[in-house]
Structure 1
């Protein structure tokens, strides 16, 4: 069976068992603050397990895009080294929410694996939870009894808590699980040693393929377990590993999930993939890294997460750069390679995941731009490596860490380059610096979540904020305390609320909660999956009191103006730039709107002006909002409403229309009832975010009026200064031309001054062991003039070491040139020498072996630095 046939057979089987097949949630977790990426199939169903929501149907099956590259589940550094670890992977799963339980889950697992997929029954083993005295949990004899119907007792094994008790996290739903393992060894090996002895022993050919989790408990913050009101089934089967089994392979990279990518890499590099896992088979490992990493990067970009310097974007950038480092170091490629694999990936997986095919060109451009940037950084890192002072043939740990942290050098690349020069790396020092960084990161991200204190049972949260800004009679369902960086945050959940929780790029509401006569300030409203959480300044004295909830109406109105303006602008961009100008992200609050969209070049001034004109025309038309709620998703698709890649849509959606035929989108945010309330729309800036992604920042309503007024006031000030009320631009242009002319005259005079110094300086040159040496403090305050003078003198003198000191704008600066003939013949290095000299002026610097500069704070140290240069040269 091909990979596509294997995936389809799984879904068809569970459809036949009454399961609803649902699409994969986005790989980037947007509404769950506890996760950066979706790392398991059950993530999108958390609210069902937690009891916050009731599913429309109790049986569901899907294949979920997952990532395990951060936090507790982090497989990144293992990728490429073995044949089973991956960053992005698919998790096939079937789910029961209070419906069937152990009996059916086990029976259907057996039926699918042995009858549909045809796996030999004698190759399968099942594990069940063996109990835990410390937790007071008995062994799972019920699951064992069901397995006895299909397997002999020798193929049913007890597992410990680590292997056979599944937990969502430190707190939350959990329960015993039953894993299914397969023995892929040759018959001779099986006869010599039974597979039962190798289950969960990390044997590469006796592997787990499926896990049936029986969710029965809730783990509280104090570690205690409480029984859930309903029992659920949560299963997960790694798609790549299943393909390995069914295609008769022993590693996942030999399946057709990866072989098309590996063949493309062979074509691009001209190298052959040998499939070796030996430590010295670096090229094979690099090819596996590329085949894996392109999937992770492409899928996350398709789901709306751009590479960046923070959060999930930083992780994606790190994965991408890891791939670049491998092909640069081990495949001898200095040009972008990863982007060339995207069309192959889209062709193989775009049929089932249309977000890949639909955005193929844009994904290629973004990845290519990132690769080019990092390849340039790698070159700088190599230059930095070459300037290191490896005293005694040892690269200091801090220097190795700087290469890792600043330039993206993995420690193995630093080791490799060091070995080529006969150097070693201070491994202990590197590990110490790396650990210090991890400790800082943990401290920055420290968050401790307390248990929910339940006030009322069995109610779901009702959001009424589309229609009302206040609720007179609400009640607290639950509350908890969260410690963020050792600062307490207070969270309250109500059964009815008008507060909009931050989601879809729109900021959460603020306002007030009245518990009887006690007033509690809501400083933010956040969403945790589908739970609306009010973050308050303090808890009320009486949680049982009836609650009056009031949203800050002014702030909501301003935010709604901005959000509605986004819809109008999105439609205007389509009309003016083309249908490719699709939303890639937005950030809307009461002060301004920020909108990211796909476009391949800078917008012209004329295009920006036209967008403003179209939006403001729609505002003046005072178009009434047309809103449709609870529209079945299929009906919404047929209606032509705009749907965005990377968004998770439920079974019923909300459609927002301003002027049918102009702007119709699926949206969960708040909006003005008519466009006239927006008042005015003004674009502040337009610029690049990533390759093929542009960003517009704009203001509306009062903020737009304030901005325009401030601009007019400043323009009037300029007019007054120029004494030219009607020809501001012409007068400013004349001043600029005059300034340019004066600068050229100053540069000419400085060059003359430097030239006049040249003859005097030549007379001060001394010879030290055959080297022309000059160190002098100059009366110049232009760094470029000093650099030019130094190069001119070095060219005329030859075999020279020239150090100039000067005070530039009140700060000391050193400029050092060493003839290239001396860097080669005598091992002199300007970058190393300048760092030593910079200490005298209480500063720092660096550069190349033949040119370096430094700045400092202590002007009085210039003389000492100039004298010290003579000592350093003599000793060298």
Structure 2
């Protein structure tokens, strides 16, 4: 059975038992505390917690998973075991409060034995030490012999984290034979012999992070069956690396390395890393992750660089990752069709990343050479020559500071493993403790900037949702009356609401207020009752589908159960609508001008502006920005109709609606068709026709990180106001320049030319005046040395004057200083070329005193220095006088 056949068999089996077949969710989880989707149940966490109602009680998925960062990190084991991968496919069947152990256990056994045809006498089962119920079902209902059921503790307890759903689990293992390790079953036998192929998690409890566990109202089933591990058993190979999914990749690795897989253990590890990391890289990029120095992007960058490093260690000079990811697309593209659509883009991204890192490797080598030069002295190179006095410091003399290795790793992306290899070759070592300490400080900074782990929804919110159902959002009217108040809670003071002791959160059965999501900020307005009102300052989601109105109490306020009127600030909403639809047109225009690889990475839709973050690998120049703006406004001016409607996810995909990886979509989605060209999933509020947007004006474009850009723009009245302000500025400039507005450029150029000519005349005049002072200054010489402060004389005039004074008879040296009007300090020293004084020596200390220096080569007779501190001129001239006269 090959990979595609196993996927089909698994999905069909559970579909026949009432499970809805769901496509894999993105590798970018909606749960923000996780870097990646690490298990099949991650997309369903809210269903297990009870914070959201599942659309159906039974589901089956084949979920893409990545474990390469955070708590779930198998990166260091890749290639060295037969069981670990950074990317893998997790087959799973799920029950949300429907069936439980009595059904799940026999079905699992039926699939493994009847569908897959695995021999019963080679199967073992494990259960948690406390789970008598599961053990009883295995033995009496399924018929597994008691001696093949083993009890384990931690290995048979599953938890999403310190906080979240958890419960005992029961696993099925396959014995691949005595050639692969000792007997004894999963509990006592060899890890490579007894292969876990199935994990039944009985989701019974919810952990709160303190060690306390609360039984879930609706216990569920979460099955995890590793596709790669099962394929290894079905295809009769000793390791998952030998299955059909990896064979083409390892064949390409052989061509890259010019070596044969299976002949050298260390080379085999590198080849497996090529295969594994290529799969992960292709899948992550296809799902919208870009190499960067933060979060997911950093993990992806590390994975790519790790593969490249192994190629580098093997002496492979050519770029390898594009070749490998191309094979991934060939192998996986039939099931994950996005890979095919993104083939060239994935190859381009990894090619650029690898080329940059290969340059980084060369740069890191150079920095390491310089850092170790001081360690490679006589004592380090020849320990026998070390004196007894140096014995106590010898170890330190041969150890590279961990901070240097951290700098190479963190700033230059130079792997610490490479650093250690090079040090070993030179008879040196690394202060690994120092390196780890620096890494830990970095981790602490990262943790401090991150949100905490998953938390339970406030019980009050869950009670409201359970009792009254979702908030009815009335999107097409600015006011709703009557609306019933479901609950009113006071908001405790905190950093966000410090000083606002009269703030409350209000829940209504229906509302016209949009809750902040999808980049669009929440509405503001008023909720009015009989005896008081709430000034609504924001609207957010307390839970999915439950609107929370945050506001300030006026009068007696309002009470739960009362009927009220809810009204938004419609003028503000109209401005938001213009900016939100404008964001979609801007996105379309970006893709038209820059390419289809552009994907939204974040946005802010406010009444006064819009902000749009997108993926792009280089800066956007002025000409491109103007073209983007032109294309967007050409579309807006068509006044095309905007259709905003609900439909099924399948229909949305069929009509080509753009969905963004990492965003969460249900079975029913809202689609915005903005004119003829832009079709995207969006739940925000929008205009009825493109012309309502008005003129879209790009205000700024900037970088916000590696491969990430940001555009800010305005629409509607904000554009008009911006143009009016620009015209007022032009009119003011024209009046100051005594010119017409369309003549400003030429008028400014004339003024610049005049200013340039006047400055030239001033310099010439200063030189003439300075020359006339040369004789006067020469007359003040003391033992042939002239030292003077010339006020604000320009640098060039100061230099000419010093040379002129020196040329008078009997002058040995001249040191002059000034503080030019343009700022800073100018120092000049001129000496008799045939004399015994050095111009550089006269200025060396003086220049430092005024906060500057000079770069003269050799020993010229005239030296000019600069500085930043005019207050130090007096002290600097005194130092020069001492240097010239000796006292």
- Whether the TM-score (by the shorter chain) exceeds 0.5 is yes
- The Cα of 1:587 is off from its aligned counterpart by 0.7
2:156–2:168 CA contact under 8 A, matched in 1: yes
Structure 1's unaligned 5+ residue stretches are 132-138, 766-772, 797-803, 813-858, 868-876
Instruction: Provide the residue aligned with 1:253 in structure 2.
Output: 241
- 1:709 counterpart = 2:724: yes
Listed as ranges, the matches of 1:542-621 within 5 Å are 551=568, 553-572=570-589, 577=593, 580=596, 583-590=599-606, 591-595=608-612, 608-609=625-626, 611-613=628-630, 615-616=632-633, 619=636
Distance 2:689 2:251 in 1: 56
Greater Cα radius of gyration, structure 1 or 2: 2
Distance 1:521 1:668, change over 3 A: closer
For residues 481 and 298 of structure 1, the distance between their equivalents in structure 2, rounded to whole angstroms, comes to 46
User: Is the aligned partner of 1:460 residue 2:469?
Assistant: yes
Q: In 1, Cα distance between the equivalents of 2:61 and 2:67?
A: 19
Asked if 2 retains the 8 angstrom alpha-carbon contact of 1:511 and 1:551, the reply is yes
List aligned pairs for 1:289-304, cutoff 5 A: 289-304=273-288
Other-structure match for 2:443: 438
Question: 1:177: which partner in 2?
Answer: 169
Task: For residue 235 of structure 1, report the CA deviation from its aligned partner.
Answer: 0.8
Range 489-498 or range 109-118, more displaced: 489-498
Match in the other structure for 1:849: none
1:395 to 400, 403, 406: 400
Corresponding position of 1:828: none
Shift of 1:87: 1.9
| 1:123-171 Cα shifts (integer Å, max 9, x gaps) | 221122222xxxxxxx3324532444231101112222x2223223333
- Residues 36 and 65 in structure 2, CA contact (< 8 A), matched pair in contact too: yes
Q: Where does residue 94 of structure 1 map in the other structure? A: 93
What per-residue deviation string (whole Å, max 9, x for no partner) do you get for residues 624-680 of structure 1?
532222x23333344454555665543222222234x34333322221234344232
2:423 is the alignment partner of 1:423? no
SS at match of 2:411: helix
Question: What's the secondary structure of 2:41's corresponding residue?
Answer: helix
Aligned counterpart in structure 2 of residue 669 of structure 1, from 684, 688, 692: 684
Cα deviation 1:209-266 (Å, max 9, x = unaligned): 2111122333345543333332321111122222222222333223232232222233
Sort the Cα spacing of 1:604 and 1:311 in 2 relative to 1 into closer, same or farther, 3 A: closer
- Once residues 439 and 599 of structure 1 are traced to their aligned partners in structure 2, the CA distance between those partners, rounded to angstroms, is 30
Three-state SS of the structure 1 residue aligned to 2:27 is coil
Moved more, 335-344 or 712-721: 712-721
Q: 1:288 aligns with which of 272, 277, 292?
A: 272
**What's the TM-score, normalizing by structure 1?**
0.76
Q: How does 1:263-278 map to 2 (within 5 A)?
A: 263-274=251-262
Does the residue aligned with 1:475 lie in a helix, a strand or coil?
A: strand
1:518-537 maps to which residues of 2 (within 5 A)?
519=534, 523=538, 525=540
Residue 785 of structure 2: aligned partner? none
Equivalent residue in structure 2 for 1:313, among 287, 297, 303: 297
CA distance in 2, matches of 1:124, 1:737: 91
- Residues of 1 paired with 2:444 and 2:250: CA distance? 38
**Displacement after TM superposition at 1:303 (Å):** 1.6
Q: What is the rounded CA distance, in whole Å, between the counterparts of 1:263 and 1:8 in structure 2?
A: 26
Which of 219, 227, 240 pairs up with 1:231? 219
- For 2:129, the equivalent position in structure 1 comes to 130
Please state how far the C-alpha of 1:111 moved relative to its aligned partner: 1.8
- Specify every segment of 5 or more residues in structure 2 that has no aligned partner in the other structure, as ranges: 376-395, 765-793, 804-826
State how many pairs are aligned. 781
1:177 Cα deviation after fit: 1.6
Aligned counterparts, 1:101-140, within 5 A: 101-131=100-130, 139-140=131-132
Q: Is it true that 1:45 corresponds to 2:44 in the alignment?
A: yes
Q: Which residue of 1 aligns with 2:13?
A: 13
Question: What is the alpha-carbon distance in structure 2 between the residues aligned to residue 255 and residue 128 of structure 1?
Answer: 29
1:758–1:644 CA distance, 2 compared to 1 (3 A): farther
**1:152 paired residue among 145, 151, 155:** 145
Q: Which residue of 1 aligns with 2:790?
A: none
Cα distance in 2 for partners of 1:733, 1:264 equals: 63
8 A contact 1:67–1:89 mirrored in 2: yes
Shift of 1:348: 0.9
Alpha-carbon distance in structure 1 between the residues aligned to 2:177 and 2:264: 18
Contact 1:502–1:527 (8 Å) recurs in 2? no
Deviations 1:481-512 (A, max 9, x none): 99999999998876645444444444455567
Picking from 354, 364, 371, the partner of 1:381 is 364
Q: Equivalences for 1:320-399 in 2 at 5 Å?
A: 320-328=304-312, 330-388=313-371, 389-390=374-375, 392-399=397-404
User: How far apart in 2 are the matches of 1:668 and 1:712?
Assistant: 37
Contact 2:157 2:168 in 1 (8 A): yes
Mean CA deviation greater in 620-629 or 419-428: 620-629
Report the equivalent of 2:807: none
- Deviations along 1:35-79, one digit per CA (max 9) or x if unpaired, are 232111112222322334433332211111112233322222333
SS in 1 for 2:124: strand
Pair 1:172–1:658, CA change in 2 (3 A): same
RMSD of the alignment, in Å?
4.8
Is 1:335–1:372's contact at 8 Å kept on the other side of the alignment?
Answer: no
Q: CA deviation at 1:374?
A: 3.0
Q: 2:423–2:430: 8 Å Cα contact kept in structure 1?
A: yes
Q: Is the 8 A contact 2:485 2:561 kept in 1?
A: no
Does structure 1 conserve the Cα–Cα contact (< 8 Å) formed by 2:174 and 2:194? yes
Q: How far apart are 1:398 and its partner, in Å?
A: 2.0
1:817 maps to none
SS in 2 for 1:387: helix
1:22 Cα shift?
Answer: 1.0
Aligned-partner Cα distance in 1 for 2:229–2:331: 17
Contact 2:51 2:543 in 1 (8 A): no
Distance in 2 (CA, whole Å) between partners of 1:482 and 1:269 is 62
User: Following the alignment from structure 2 to structure 1, what is the Cα–Cα distance between the partners of residues 294 and 261?
Assistant: 35
